[in-house]
A and B are shown apart, each in its own frame.
Chain A
Amino acid sequence: SQTIHQWPATLVQPVGSPLSLECTVEGTSNPNLYWYRQAAGRGLQLLFYSVGIGQISSEVPQNLSASRPQDRQFILSSKKLLLSDSGFYLCAWSVGGSGYEQYFGPGTRLTVT
């Protein structure tokens, strides 16, 4: 069966510090991968998606970037965090090609102070 991991689970970072969040998927090959942010009491905002290694598309231009160095690894980064980057970050995967259902990881709660 497929499993998706995210770490760290929680993170408190000062403004201006760098960020690296990691997501890995097990039990599937060539998945589509997604990064979402969920602000308190709000819906999910798609940040980035990837259909293959090295292929990243951005939905919302902002202070974040994403990379996919391996087939089942997706990384969300920032060089300098802003207060507005605080939120609940979720990684998701779907079957590459025809899979519309997305499966989410446990999330990383980021607080920028």
Chain B
Amino acid sequence: QKEVEQDPGPLSVPEGAIVSLNCTYSNSAFQYFMWYRQYSRKGPELLMYTYSSGNKEDGRFTAQVDKSSKYISLFIRDSQPSDSATYLCAMSAPGGYNKLIFGAGTRLAVHP
């Protein structure tokens, strides 16, 4: 079993839709959670960073962490064609060299 599971998609939605992207994990030691956006042939860009359970909002993006269920989500409101990209979740446990464990990424396409 992988430490981090993420549905690869592709996920196709119309412009303006609410998008829900999800990851599950197995290591209860994970405490730091990140979402990255990666456009084709580009490096990943950090979108959201959360610590512990709860919600964090930044503009149209909301990151949600449920540690009891070992489940994290990224919601995108009013999705735009420019949101079309691959979204990677990543997480880390305290200590060491801050190693991140990545999901495989979900490919999202937003149609005009």
Q: Mark A33-44, 1 if CB is under 8 A from B, else 0.
A: 000000001111
Report the minimum CB–CB distance from B25 to chain A (whole Å).
13
Q: Mark A77-113, 1 if CB is under 8 A from B, else 0.
A: 0000000000010100010001111111111010000
A-B contact count (CB 8 A): 52
Report the minimum CB–CB distance from A83 to chain B (whole Å).
21
Please pick, from A43, A100, A106, the residue contacting B102 in the complex, using a CB distance under 8 A. A43
Q: In the complex, which residue of chain A has the Cβ closest to the Cβ of B33?
A: A100
How many residues of B are in contact with the other chain, CB < 8 A? 22
Q: Mark B83-112, 1 if CB is under 8 A from A, else 0.
A: 000001010100001111011110000000
Report whether A43 and B98 are in contact in the complex, using a CB–CB cutoff of 8 Å. Answer: no
Whole-angstrom CA separation of A106 from B105 in the bound complex: 18
User: Interface stretch among B43-51, B54-62, B65-73?
Assistant: B43-51
Q: In the complex, which residue of chain B has the Cβ closest to the Cβ of A42?
A: B104
| Other contacts beyond A51-B97, A100-B100: 12, CB < 8 A | A41-B8, A42-B104, A44-B88, A46-B99, A49-B99, A88-B41, A99-B98, A101-B49, A102-B98, A104-B44, A104-B46, A106-B42
Q: Which 3 A-B pairs have the closest CB atoms?
A: A104-B43, A43-B104, A100-B32
Q: Mark A44-77, 1 if CB is under 8 A from B, else 0.
A: 1010010100000100000000000000000000
Most buried by B among A49, A99, A100, A106: A100
